[in-house]
Structure 1
Amino acid sequence: MAAAVSGITFAASAADGQINFTGTILDSACTIDTNTANQTVNLGKIPKSSFNAAGAVAAATRFSIVLNNCPAAVTSASVKFDGTADSSDTNILALNSGQTAKGVGVAFYEEDGITAIPLATQSKSITLDTSTGEDPANSNKMTFVAKYKATQAAVVAGTANATSDFTITYQ
């Protein structure tokens, strides 16, 4: 019996550290323009020859999310794109189940089209114009680029649709 008990370890009862959680509850946040809240971004018809190696990208396509009626308490915002990660490259979005294309996913980039935004990671923040409420000039337009990205050396042609949710984080 003593041999069976000797393999048990016990946790110390003293705390090893402390975590403080801070934040602010906003009365309201910006509203997402209805034309950009739920949208379809057409990446086009791309020949598989555009993907000559794993990591090759094609079909750079701009899309935007527009924030309106931002309260004065909100000075900046960033976006996080979520969805099913590609099994070969967890930084990019996998194609939806049932798609016939293989070896490719969708990658997100900042407006410059060069700086990648890994899946489930915040984009850079933009400063918001809160002075005019709903800004007709769309100064609160957050622009991004989506590209097909090869995850394998040999891409199989077919439908290549993917779906991402997004979350706005306000600062």
Structure 2
Amino acid sequence: MNAKLTTLAIIAALFSVSSYASDPVTINVTGKVVASPCTLDTANSTLDIDVGTKQTTDLAAAGAQLGGQAFNIALKDCPAGTTSVTATFTGTDDPSAAPGNGFKNAGTATNVTIQLKDGLAGGWNDPNYTIKTGRTWTKAVDTTTNAVSYYLAARAYTPTGSVAPGTVSASIVVDFTYQ
């Protein structure tokens, strides 16, 4: 009889445990489908730009420039479905230039700023066409060639004049995002 009571007690305990209701659990599944990247077309891109050489006497006045060299960054083999590419430019801003209108010279020449702009339009000081840190530029992919090109121009510029001899150098990073 004790064995039957013990068995009934265990069965009752099991039923009482399983009869408790629990809160529902929600499972969230997330992800992202992104456009495939294009390939840098090294044969049609210029990544080392030489703005030339000038005498310090030619760079004595504020606003004098060195260069104005056009160049191209080309992407190719963009997969079907990749319709546009956004380039984001990053570098160290030069505090002596108009705010955000020049990259700091990492070379030894003083009073020199490096500027980039849209190579096909606008003036060097037009904020609609100048390239600065954080600037984005979105271009459509040519669906016939599956390619896209960014035409740019670079120059060294002195906002203050009185340039001291030395080298001109800047590194500007371009990150591409594909849509």
Q: Same fold (TM over 0.5)?
A: yes
Aligned length in residues: 141
Query: Equivalent residues in 2 for 1:45-124 (5 A)?
Result: 45-89=53-97, 90-96=100-106, 99-112=107-120, 114=123, 115-123=129-137
Query: Equivalent residues in 2 for 1:132-151 (5 A)?
Result: 132-133=145-146, 140-151=148-159
**Cα RMSD (Å) of the superposition?**
2.6
Mean Cα deviation higher: 140-149 or 53-62? 53-62
Q: How far 1:38 sits from its partner (Å)?
A: 7.8
Give 1:167's aligned residue. 175
Q: Is the 8 A contact 1:95 1:161 kept in 2?
A: yes
Q: How far 1:64 sits from its partner (Å)?
A: 0.9
TM-score, normalization by structure 1: 0.69
Task: Give, as a single letter, the amino acid of the residue that structure 2 aligns with 1:54.
Answer: A
Q: Is the 8 A contact 2:90 2:132 kept in 1?
A: no
Q: 2:141 aligns with which of 128, 132, 135?
A: 128
Give 1:7's aligned residue. none
Answer 1 or 2: which has greater helix percent: 2
Structure 2, unmatched stretches of 5+, are 1-31, 124-128
In the alignment, the residues of structure 2 paired with residue 91 and residue 74 of structure 1 have an alpha-carbon distance, to the nearest angstrom, of: 31
Task: Give, as a single letter, the amino acid of the residue that structure 1 aligns with 2:112.
Answer: V
Q: Is the 8 A contact 1:106 1:148 kept in 2?
A: yes
Write out per-residue CA displacement over residues 8-42 of structure 1, whole angstroms, 9 at most, x where no aligned residue: xxxxxxxxxxxxxxxx6425111112346783111
Q: Is the 8 A contact 1:60 1:146 kept in 2?
A: yes
In the alignment, the residues of structure 2 paired with residue 120 and residue 57 of structure 1 have an alpha-carbon distance, to the nearest angstrom, of: 24
TM-score, normalization by structure 2: 0.66
Rate the CA distance shift 1:48–1:76 in 2: closer, same or farther, 3 A: farther
What percentage of residue pairs aligned between the two structures are identical?
Answer: 28
Give 2:11's aligned residue. none
Task: Give, as a single letter, the amino acid of the residue that structure 1 aligns with 2:130.
Answer: A
Q: Which has the larger radius of gyration?
A: 2
Q: Secondary structure at the match of 1:109?
A: strand
In the alignment, the residues of structure 2 paired with residue 131 and residue 121 of structure 1 have an alpha-carbon distance, to the nearest angstrom, of: 28
Q: Secondary structure at the match of 2:57?
A: helix
Task: Give, as a single letter, the amino acid of the residue that structure 2 aligns with 1:117.
Answer: I
